[in-house]
Structure 1
Amino acid sequence: MKQKLHEAFKKKLLQGDESRSHKSLASSGRFTTSSGLIEGDEDEDDSIEYISPPPQQEIEQRPAKRRKHAPPKVGPSGQPYTPLELQVLKLKKENPGPILMVEVGYKYKFFGEDAKVARKELGMVAFVDRNFLVASIPTHRRDVHLKKLLSQGYRVGIVNQIETAALKKASDNRNAPFERRVTNLYTAATYVDNIDSVDDSERYMPPILMCLIEEPNRSGQCDVNIGLITVCPSTGDVVWDDISDTPMRIELETRLAHMRPAELLLPESGLSEPTAKLLTYLTNSPTADHKIRVEHLQHIFSSDRAFDLISDFYTEQRELHTSSSGAILAKVVDFPKRVTIALAHAIKYLSTFGIASALLETTFFERFTTRAQMLLTANTLTNLEIYRNETDYTINGSLLWVLDNTKTRFGARMLKHWVGRPLADKRILQERIEAVEEILESSSEMLHTLRDTLKRLPDLARGLCRIQYGQCTPQELATIFPAFRKVANAFQLVESPSEVGLKSVLLSNIIFSLPRIREPVIETLGAISLKKALEGEKEEMWTDPERYPAIDDAKMAIQHVEAELEEELKKARRQLRLPSLQWTSVAGDEYIIEVKRSDKRPIPDTWTLHSKTKYLERYRPLEVIQKLEERARYQETLQAEACNAYRQFLAEISSKHYTVLRAAVTHLAMADCLICFAHVALRNNYVRPEFMNEDVLEIVDGRHPMIEELRSDPFVPNSVKIGSESPRNLIITGPNMGGKSSCVRMVALIAIMAQIGSYVPAASLRMSLLDSVLTRMGASDDLAKGRSTFMVEMSETRDILYTATKKSLVILDELGRGTSTFDGMAIADAVLHHLVETTKCKTLFITHYPLVASSLERRFPKDVENLHMDYQVQHRIDGTRDVTFLYRLAAGIAPESFGVECGRLAGLPESVLSLATSQASNMQAEVTKRMRLNRWDFLVYLQPRFLTPSLKDAQIRLSSKSLFVP
């Protein structure tokens, strides 16, 4: 019976030609490295393969007359191209765009111009080898160098050998080079790293692909409508938006600042000039942590064509993934037209990399802006250093750095999302705050279990994506699902969240949801052997042999051949009259007969000499050679069938369990962030914010969260009250380096921390919800976008005036300093006048114009209050002064800014400082004199028109009024 099964399998295996077997192996995704054949490459000598001569009957079938070959093609070195070099030329012709990493034996090689790129970007040695400049790397270092090239914006193709030595030996083209093809194509956004990667640069945001579609808009202040979609293949997150934008492209810049794409899909032509300038600046920015790659779209789909492409994609995927029903397409159809076109281009582009399934689960599509979230503009992210500092542009010293104590990578990514999108929904915000409070105050065993569960979890979100794309290795699978089992078994299954036993609604929902993944986890782990999966044995990892019968058939065929080899051993024993004869292995080469030369035993003519030493001779019978070739073919078939079975298994997991497992990862990420907030609050002595219905922002003894962490000496706290019975607008003056900017940043950061659900660095905080935090700080030009320093100031101020509402917090730092003194004073006065009288928002206004401060306070005594950063002055005998900064807010206007004293602290020469002091005194005396003369002339002008007959009384009254606005 066993013999019949073997013959049936053998007939099935051999019924197709060998090219078909090559094709099936190529499509299986598994390609074995071999360096057995020398392909005109002198460097390929890492291993030695003993190749037995072909069987005698094959020799007899060869034609007596050899074919005439065409003359060899000569390369630039004057030498003929080797077969490998000709293969490289063909590969480059077929794939002209990407850098090619070509597998040659146990190395990956770069040829020609690609070698120049490798030398430049990877710092490796390149040398001339016959007709090509060549650089090479070991196989095990491929991914390291691949990621370096991708981070520099290159597109990289991996060229692998797609046939093994066994198949090569059994094929008709055994003397040709190994067949090679581009098996993988990567860009920075489409490369999904392993779950055990130690690359920390992607902790908060893996590379993102953004597709942008723009249309003109000639109504109102906006001149374009922009639809965009961003895809993160490493996590499966998809964000879309449809916006109208002004000529300054503030909305687009904000989204780019939040998403920081690694790759852009852009129309080749038709982008407006402001958009093109902004994107050019982004792609060439010296502060970017990676180069941004741009892929141009030659033809933009019409809305009808885009809809057809999307319909076809989701209809096809619905047939393959039964869990994703027609609701998928229904959600996508509701997208705005421009977003639909962008989605269609993203689908087409990602399909070329085999990862379009990232767009399959529309459950995880999210709009960039929602009513439940506050949007922080690009200026606010920069000025408040939300994601990174403005010194070396790293995360150290940022708000995200202060708050991050997450234990998982998916938790860190969610924390970044929360920090950049503070909540504007009071109910959701209260749920977060209450969850943090319960974690801090409760001694519940479940919360301790939740903390322990999060420890040492792999990147489950990335792992699920690799499963979805079919890229997950057995070793990764054997890491991912035991982690899910740990999560599933951490808590008891209950009927409803109310039975969990916690006060917090959010924590109850999280713990309630986690045990619900138990069934899919048990099902998946029950199908595989973890031990074999960790060893990467796709052929042996299945617990049920009948699950994939083709694997079992191939195993049986191999066993049958090995049984026949044992019969050959018995035959050899009889021929040599050595009953104890055993097979020998030499350097991994099996089934060799070893005899002593001194025995001088008769060797059959059909035996082939394998190798010999001084005392031994090693042979292999012709029948054994044939059996080994047959076994090698069966082994290749087994590997191909195992790869097919494994791919099917991954597809089953994705279609049946992706949604529920991904939801569990989202809940784990939320738990990680909440526990992180509690840990940071406890470590830094933060307090719970109190949210009020009345319009107020009251901070008692607030501290700057980043400065407090970075400095060893204690931060001087400050108290601020805006709104309610206090003025809504604070004008802050004071000496240079007195701490004005740090103080107003502290207010904004505390408000943002409160609205992301964190405790805050203060003695207490009472506040109403803000709908935005808008900032205009610093002074810098933007030549890349064609804007001067003052133009940058005015553009940012304009957007604040148009965006701010009654619920906004606005921070303006030294507005008007980019132009002449009088123009600057006039603009500063007018802007703050507008904010006080028209917008009626909460404002913190830093200025060095005392006249502006006094004028506004006189005009709006109930709405404007003047404060200054306190200081102490000590006069020296030599006439100089020492200024001590107290860093505390005090009432009133600072009489001067102590610029000369600041220059002394900076180390300016004393001769310069003395001249500056003298000039400052002269200028101040001259201005005072002119003001007195102008006041008298003004009184003479007004007396006959508006004033009483008593000139003296009029002068007294007028002297008490502000002269900045007559």
Structure 2
Amino acid sequence: MRDPFRDEDDKKKRHEEFKRVVLAGNGSGFARQEHYQDKGTQSSEDESLQDQDDAHESDVSDEAFKNLKELFSHKSNKVKRKARLTSSAQGEGTTKGLGPSGQPYTPAELQSLKFIKDNPGVVLMIELGYKYYFYEEGASIASRELGIVAYRRRNLLTASIPVHRRDVHLKKLLSQGHKVGIVEQTETAALKKVSETRNTLFERKLTHLYTATTYVDELESVDDLDKRAAPPLVCFTEVPTNGGTFEDHVLISMITITPSTGDVVWDEFDDIVMRSELETRLVHTRPAELLLPEQGLSKLTEKVLRHFAGSIQSGQKIRIERYKNAMGFSAAFDFVTKFYSDKTEANSQDFSMDGILGIIASLPQQVVVALAHTINYLSSFHIADAFLGARFFTKFANRTHMLLNATTLENLEVYQNQTDYTAKGSLIWVLDRTNTKFGARLLKSWIGQPLTDKRMLQDRIDAIEEIITSSSEKLVSLRQVLKKLPDLAKGLCRIQYGKCSPQELAILLPALNRVGMAFDGFEEGTLGDFRSRLLNEIVLSLPKLKFPIREYLSAISLKNAVEGKKEFLWTNTQRFPKLTDFALMIQTVETELDEELKRIRKILRMPSLQWTSVSGIEFLVELKKSENRDVPVSWDLMSSTKHYRRYHNPEVKRLTQERAIYQELLAAEADKAYSTFLAEIAQSHYSLLRDATNKLAVADCLLSLAHIALQDGYVRPELTDEDVLDITDGRHPMVEALSVIITGPNMGGKSSAVRMVALIAIMAQIGSYVPAGAARIGMCDGIITRMGASDELARGRSTFMVEMTETNEILKTATSKSLVILDELGRGTSTADGMAIADAVLQHLVENIKCKTLFITHYPLVAIDLERRFPDDVQNLHMGYTTDSRIDGRRDVTFLYRLTEGSAEESFGVECARLAGIPEHILGVATERANACRTAIESRSKLNRCAIDATGYLRTS
């Protein structure tokens, strides 16, 4: 057999063929065996890696060609080579320094492997040239999640993305629950050339570490898809309580932190076997990450958390992070106080028993433990400063708010519909007319936690009424200032973390200045003349921003901030004198370059010669080839084209290198100065700015609810402490809003009717006007629902078990001031058992709890019997209808969608089945069976009533 590389022609042909395949395949059609020469310098190593990854832009090296030749050698040689490679792959310990490919590890590979070893569980993006590289397990994950190719390159499995696409791919990895680290080159080329380590690897460091919650996105990010949501982190701790077992009764503590907005919420609550309180808080907070102890949670709690983490509808995965060595209270308290003392100026007024320390000391012990672990965790991401605003900590559940549990939020479609799990068609979709993202987030909190404090509720409703009835110019100014505001809460957090860019600062400061000057046209004494206390608080708080913001604006050049020029940001050049020094050094070098240009003109006899810049290389002498000019032999040819040659002489090379060094020193000093400026804003005025932002959020919510109140058919509810629920001509707010697009007949509307009542009660207790002719509502301390039927196989719960569990929760939590809604209780089991349970539960609610109850049932005997036994407390109502009989015996049913006194005579199930398209011959049989069953049940019922009456007569006799 002839060797295919026996002569030069064959060699050339094969070489060209190999180049063509590389160009066509670009590394995706075959496993490339690439060779990198270890030259002992990182710059050449980086260039080699970059060039070979972009093989379609460069020639294939001779060394790679030689390796390919071996692959085309005789079969026996191929077998021997395979054996050698296998031996090398297996024997990293036997052949020191050799990798799986049988070739030595390059310095870059060894550096990357060290980063991987030092950061277990982290997907690393390592900057190298113009790309970010993923290696080994990180490459596999990137390939799977990002849809990019992973291939074996030399000794490491590799995948890569362009530098400019970093954030896009980073967010995708974070949304899938991964922790991602960014490894960047921390030495610049110019400084490296003059350093003592110029012949060694470029230094690289892990500069950023992110998870979905700790990644604080840019201020005006285009992929903030839900303005009401910001990803929170929740930390839980758990201990047994009341002498029960660790599974039955537990005390759970939590800290919820949203790093992108700075919101901190804490809570401590008792929970029982079903962990319904835990589930409620998970549904309310919708965490993107859970921080949990490695050991210490009960099996039931772990099961609920795992189920929740795996059942999110948004397509994003919840990350679960574990911490080892849980702290006790004493260690946790010491850790937290040290954190605040280190962050706060010594002996400051804030850090006292009346300040931060007082707030921390007032927290429950296990909450302090959760707080300590959360601070410790966020410190590794350099964003623990989110906790510095301790006076803005809020309790999740308190006496002034009603807490809607997870089942009620789902059944009433408060945050999302039950069809495609989006906000459209939900209560928040109807009520949200906010202008700002921070206002939308606050409104979501209001809707999920209606007020139970009548005075606070009256304040809200009074403010809304004044907004819709007043013609004050101050309200016009307030509306105007809320338009086109950036996310101030997010911006303040980015300032606090030192992540705010000059471009973002150029958006935030003018916006805050506009807020501070919103009421400049009014006399100071007239600002607080609203009847509403809430409106006065808002309007009086905003002018306080004017002077500090004006001071910050006067300190910077907005034009340079918009362009991102940190070096020339300051109006007072003496504020950071080193910047002036470096700028003067650069100017001096550039003057010397101008002098050098004059000298070059004389040498070349070209008086009009100018510097040329090509591909980022500046101060080039560009000469036409056609002129055939002589140049000094000391000049270096930098690039050449068909018509031009471009040169650097030794002096220009020296000066440009010196200039590059000064530019990098200037950039570093500018970064330092800018960070100092951001820290000054955060330390001096964060509380003032945060308070004003909170007031603006309240204003945005009030104006949104006022917008709803102005719609036709909405009235101000009358709130009373009496046990009353009187709604005249009430309408379902979501059905009303969606009626323009819904077609086809509805059924009786029983579920919609009771949902309407519950939703009107919620709207009334957040301060909103309600869709009704009139509404007189007694204050509720809770709205609890049991509606629908579904199983939870993942949690080992059948349909009936879910039904009974939710019913049990109602019986345990309902009070005399609760509104309870039960929809078809008992349908998950046999008719006899279902009727018995429905009767017993309703009797308990009527006799013992005495709460307002709406009870939907298809058991007419239960309804009639309960009304007979409790005539003063139970009233039967039904959804109105009319019937028309046809000649063929069929009936047409018209639903009136109005509650009517009395119980329904029939359920009209056969008529509904006809509307669904069930064949007529089947419906005929069903009608006969239904009539027979109805007759039998009525006969049995009469006999039972006679027996009961007889028993009662005998006892009284």
Cα distance per residue 1:24-66 (max 9 Å; x no partner): xxxxxxxxx9998333651258999xxxxxxxxxxxxxxxxxx
One-letter amino acid matched to 1:707? V
Q: Distance in 1 between matches of 2:614 and 2:742?
A: 72
Q: Distance in 2 between matches of 1:787 and 1:548?
A: 66
**Pair 1:751 & 2:777 matched:** no
Is residue 98–residue 154 contact of structure 1 (8 Å, CA) maintained in 2? yes
Is residue 713–residue 773 contact of structure 2 (8 Å, CA) maintained in 1? no
Q: Secondary structure at the match of 1:241?
A: strand
Match of 1:213 in 2: 237
Is residue 46–residue 128 contact of structure 2 (8 Å, CA) maintained in 1? no
Written as runs of structure 1 = structure 2, the 5 A alignment for 1:181-580 is: 181-219=205-243, 223-285=249-311, 287-319=313-345, 324-326=350-352, 327-492=355-520, 499-576=527-604, 580=608
Task: Mark the CA change 1:613 to 1:142 in structure 2 (over 3 Å): closer, same or farther.
Answer: closer
Task: Mark the CA change 1:638 to 1:744 in structure 2 (over 3 Å): closer, same or farther.
Answer: same
Is residue 341–residue 351 contact of structure 2 (8 Å, CA) maintained in 1? no
Task: Mark the CA change 1:286 to 1:364 in structure 2 (over 3 Å): closer, same or farther.
Answer: closer
Task: Mark the CA change 1:797 to 1:497 in structure 2 (over 3 Å): closer, same or farther.
Answer: farther
Structure 1 residue 932, shift from structure 2 partner:
5.3
| Counterpart pick for 2:750 among 740, 750, 775 | 740
Structure 1 residue 934, shift from structure 2 partner:
5.6
Cα distance per residue 1:381-438 (max 9 Å; x no partner): 1111111111111111100000011111011101101111111111111111111112
Task: Mark the CA change 1:71 to 1:609 in structure 2 (over 3 Å): closer, same or farther.
Answer: farther
Is residue 527–residue 539 contact of structure 2 (8 Å, CA) maintained in 1? no
Is residue 503–residue 564 contact of structure 2 (8 Å, CA) maintained in 1? yes
Match of 1:844 in 2: 854
One-letter amino acid matched to 1:211? C
Q: Distance in 2 between matches of 1:934 and 1:766?
A: 41
Q: Secondary structure at the match of 1:636?
A: helix
**Pair 1:902 & 2:912 matched:** yes
| Counterpart pick for 1:805 among 798, 812, 815 | 815
Q: Secondary structure at the match of 2:882?
A: strand
Match of 1:86 in 2: 110
- TM normalised by structure 2 equals 0.87
Q: Distance in 2 between matches of 1:547 and 1:71?
A: 59
Task: Mark the CA change 1:937 to 1:451 in structure 2 (over 3 Å): closer, same or farther.
Answer: closer
Structure 1 residue 902, shift from structure 2 partner:
2.0
One-letter amino acid matched to 2:173? L
Match of 1:585 in 2: 613
Structure 1 residue 317, shift from structure 2 partner:
0.5
Q: Distance in 2 between matches of 1:614 and 1:314?
A: 66
Cα distance per residue 1:521-565 (max 9 Å; x no partner): 011111110000110111011111111111111112212222233
Match of 2:145 in 1: 121
247-256 or 337-346, which moves further after superposition?
A: 247-256
Cα distance per residue 1:901-953 (max 9 Å; x no partner): 2222222233332222222222233334445556677778777x4477xxxxx
920-929 or 533-542, which moves further after superposition?
A: 920-929
One-letter amino acid matched to 1:316? D
Is residue 50–residue 129 contact of structure 2 (8 Å, CA) maintained in 1? no
Q: Secondary structure at the match of 1:683?
A: coil
Q: Distance in 2 between matches of 1:657 and 1:665?
A: 12
Structure 1 residue 274, shift from structure 2 partner:
1.9
Cα distance per residue 1:731-770 (max 9 Å; x no partner): xxxx993111100000010010011011111111111211
- TM normalised by structure 1 equals 0.86
Match of 1:763 in 2: 773
Q: Distance in 2 between matches of 1:683 and 1:714?
A: 20
Task: Mark the CA change 1:816 to 1:671 in structure 2 (over 3 Å): closer, same or farther.
Answer: same
Structure 1 residue 81, shift from structure 2 partner:
4.1
Match of 1:5 in 2: none
Q: Secondary structure at the match of 2:875?
A: strand
Q: Distance in 1 between matches of 2:819 and 2:951?
A: 43
Match of 1:630 in 2: 658
Task: Mark the CA change 1:664 to 1:169 in structure 2 (over 3 Å): closer, same or farther.
Answer: same
Percent identical: 57
**Pair 1:110 & 2:134 matched:** yes
Larger relative contact order, structure 1 or 2 (CA cutoff 8 Å, min sep 6): 1
84-93 or 552-561, which moves further after superposition?
A: 84-93
Structure 1 residue 620, shift from structure 2 partner:
2.4
Q: Distance in 2 between matches of 1:154 and 1:714?
A: 41
Task: Mark the CA change 1:289 to 1:748 in structure 2 (over 3 Å): closer, same or farther.
Answer: farther
One-letter amino acid matched to 1:688? R
Is residue 214–residue 225 contact of structure 1 (8 Å, CA) maintained in 2? yes
**Pair 1:823 & 2:849 matched:** no
Match of 1:166 in 2: 190
Q: Distance in 1 between matches of 2:581 and 2:592?
A: 17
Q: Distance in 2 between matches of 1:818 and 1:776?
A: 13
One-letter amino acid matched to 1:751? A
Structure 1 residue 498, shift from structure 2 partner:
6.6
Structure 1 residue 150, shift from structure 2 partner:
0.9
Q: Distance in 2 between matches of 1:523 and 1:480?
A: 14
750-759 or 871-880, which moves further after superposition?
A: 871-880
Structure 1 residue 380, shift from structure 2 partner:
0.9
Structure 1 residue 800, shift from structure 2 partner:
1.4
Task: Mark the CA change 1:354 to 1:714 in structure 2 (over 3 Å): closer, same or farther.
Answer: closer
Is residue 461–residue 665 contact of structure 1 (8 Å, CA) maintained in 2? yes
Is residue 45–residue 108 contact of structure 2 (8 Å, CA) maintained in 1? no
Structure 1 residue 195, shift from structure 2 partner:
1.0
Is residue 550–residue 641 contact of structure 1 (8 Å, CA) maintained in 2? yes
Q: Distance in 2 between matches of 1:690 and 1:599?
A: 94
Q: Secondary structure at the match of 1:779?
A: coil
Task: Mark the CA change 1:760 to 1:109 in structure 2 (over 3 Å): closer, same or farther.
Answer: same
Match of 2:900 in 1: 890
Is residue 34–residue 105 contact of structure 1 (8 Å, CA) maintained in 2? no
Q: Secondary structure at the match of 2:49?
A: coil
Q: Secondary structure at the match of 1:773?
A: strand
Q: Secondary structure at the match of 1:865?
A: coil
| Counterpart pick for 1:705 among 720, 724, 733 | 733
Cα distance per residue 1:471-501 (max 9 Å; x no partner): 1111001110010011111113989887433
Q: Secondary structure at the match of 1:879?
A: coil
Q: Distance in 2 between matches of 1:497 and 1:148?
A: 53
Is residue 782–residue 788 contact of structure 1 (8 Å, CA) maintained in 2? yes
Task: Mark the CA change 1:236 to 1:581 in structure 2 (over 3 Å): closer, same or farther.
Answer: same
Q: Distance in 2 between matches of 1:106 and 1:882?
A: 73
Q: Which structure 2 segments of 5+ residues have no match? A: 1-42, 59-93
171-180 or 400-409, which moves further after superposition?
A: 171-180
Q: Secondary structure at the match of 2:771?
A: coil
| Counterpart pick for 1:157 among 163, 181, 188 | 181
Q: Distance in 2 between matches of 1:903 and 1:667?
A: 54
